[in-house]
Structure 1
Amino acid sequence: MILENGIIVAVEADGLWVETIQKSACEVCVAEKGCGQKFLSKLAGKTVSIRVLRNKKSSAEYSVGQSVTIGIPEDIIVMASLLVYLLPIFAAIGGAWLFSGSDLQAVGGALGGLLLGGLMVNLHSVKQRDDMRFNPVLIEEPVQPSILNFQQ
């Protein structure tokens, strides 16, 4: 599980919006000058807002400005990346192949397949919006046993 620290920027009934600082690998990457990541992060800012599902606590226990730790499962990141990138590409290739009568038909089929693939990704995202397995979750900080011993 990948852990990130962030600050709550909005509280909703079913989740929280957490702003995290983007950790870029530009300082250690070999392709530092050939990659557009550093340039894009300068243009867009260095913060990212993520919708996070609450565990068992109510919304009243969280407030804007509170610091929290969120967890994102690694396997979900891999599966989501494959879904977002590969499904529209395969749909575009399938559309081009299906309508391969002429060049214009193939281009139209590829664009239609690309749009269909994007729509399928969007529908999957809406369907999995509140599923704890597919979303970042709040990590509850465990109570340290040494503090309990001093209070007795």
Structure 2
Amino acid sequence: MIEQQAIVIAQRGDSVEVEPLRQQTCGQCSAQGACGTSLLDQFLGRRPLRLTLINSIGARPGERVVVGMPEQVLLRAALSAYLVPLLALLAGGIVGGELTAWAGLPAVEAASIGGALAGLVLAMRWLRRYSIGLAVDARWRAVLLRRVDPHPAGVPVKLG
């Protein structure tokens, strides 16, 4: 289970809206803001991500909670978002070029490019439907695991 701390923003009936706490790694990185991640954040701006989850732990607005998600969700999302469009792009290009060559038509390169774009468009349409299907399946949703103790017990230190 992948876990991330979040803060409860609002409560609506039996669900809550949470905003994950962002980890600031740029201050600890040796590149100190010169990397692509920092530049991309500056260009696009950071918009808060908000999730609506079933309030299974009775959390209230302002509380810190731990949100969990099965590892398989991240793996499936990464494979479907990166690998499927890439494979469809390649397959579309190959099919477009081969069909044009088989038919004996000129401009095989143009047909390859067109086939690649068609494959990419089809992959994106499939990805949209696939992600909607995953969103309605309760097995693939993030869940509230527990509250975060605002005053964690520390290790006792003996002075003197």
Q: Does TM, normalized by the shorter one, top 0.5? A: yes
Which residue of structure 1 aligns with residue 112 of structure 2?
A: 106
Aligned AA (1:130): V
Ranges in structure 1 where 5+ consecutive residues have no aligned partner: 143-152
Whole-Å separation in 2 of the counterparts to 1:114 and 1:16: 36
How far 1:120 sits from its partner (Å)? Answer: 1.0
- TM-score normalised by structure 2 residue count: 0.69
Matched, 1:41 2:41: yes
Which residue of structure 2 aligns with residue 79 of structure 1?
A: 76
- TM-score normalised by structure 1 residue count: 0.72
Structure 2 SS opposite 1:48: coil
Q: Which has the larger radius of gyration?
A: 2
Counterpart pick for 1:90 among 59, 75, 87: 87
Greater shift after overlay, 90-99 or 65-74? 65-74
How many positions carry a matched residue from both structures?
138
CA-based RMSD of the aligned residues comes to 2.9
Counterpart pick for 1:126 among 119, 123, 132: 132
How far 1:65 sits from its partner (Å)? Answer: 3.9
Which residue of structure 1 aligns with residue 17 of structure 2?
A: 17
Tell me the percent identity. 28
Greater shift after overlay, 111-120 or 64-73? 64-73
Whole-Å separation in 2 of the counterparts to 1:9 and 1:68: 11
Whole-Å separation in 2 of the counterparts to 1:6 and 1:48: 11
How far 1:74 sits from its partner (Å)? Answer: 2.3
Which residue of structure 2 aligns with residue 148 of structure 1?
A: none
Aligned AA (1:37): T
